[in-house]
Amino acid sequence: MNGTGPGAARAIVEELAPGLSRHWQVDEVICDVRTEFQELVIGRTAQGVALFSGGERQSTEFSQLVYHEALLVPAMLLADKIERVLVISSGEGVVSQLAVAAGATHVDHVDIDRDAVRLCAEHLPYGYTVSELHRAESGLGPITVHYRDGWEFVERSTQAYDIVVVDLPTRVACQLSTTVCTTPISCGCAGLSVGLSFPRPAAQPCGATTRYAGRGGAFMKPFVR
């Protein structure tokens, strides 16, 4: 992991579409790091402390709760029960915390980028604190953090989940969309939530096909194999 500590103000230009961009004024760069998997910037903006990956805004202090609730709440409303939840990516940890607050007794949080998750816990005023993350890494409590590839975790998992949430940066979701479309996965989950949720009976394994890829993962629909 290479990077710098706190620094002066800088601008980040987030490309939204051809000819369309969003300009962020970062008044103070808290950290600017290249991990094994991504370029990560955390800084102070007019929207509070914000997280950027590869030049794309991932979450901000002022709006993150609306975003993270939108990922999880539809699934909670449709699921038969909320006991076991699988969260893939979403390194801030907010979705995992919301699931526990809603009654989940076990949350598996899978993220491939250990450095990014730890930097979020250290510098973001939302999501895991450093001590909370340490407990989750040790499996002490309802949340267990696994530093693994999410696709590999799902392929090898024999557990059933009431809700599955996938929250990936836009470019990663778009890269995965072709693979997800052509290769069904058997995740053995009772409900699949990727941005939106479509619960399934617990006895039926489900796979997924991509309908739309974007920040917040890919919006998927499950099917019975």
The neighbour count for residue 48, using CB atoms within 10 Å, is: 15
Task: Tell how strand 206-214 and strand 217-224 pair up.
Answer: antiparallel
Structure tokens at 4: 């710098």
Catalytic residues: 167
To the nearest 10 degrees (0 to 180), the angle between helices 64-78 and 94-101 is: 50
Which residues lie closer than 8 Å to 88 by C-beta, 6 or more apart?
110, 111, 150, 153, 154, 164, 165, 166, 167, 168, 217
Q: Give the gyration radius of the chain's Cα atoms.
A: 17
User: CA-to-CA distance for 136 and 110, rounded, in angstroms?
Assistant: 11
Q: What are phi and psi of 64, to 5 degrees?
A: -60, -35
User: CA-to-CA distance for 83 and 35, rounded, in angstroms?
Assistant: 33
Residues forming a β-bridge with 12 = 24
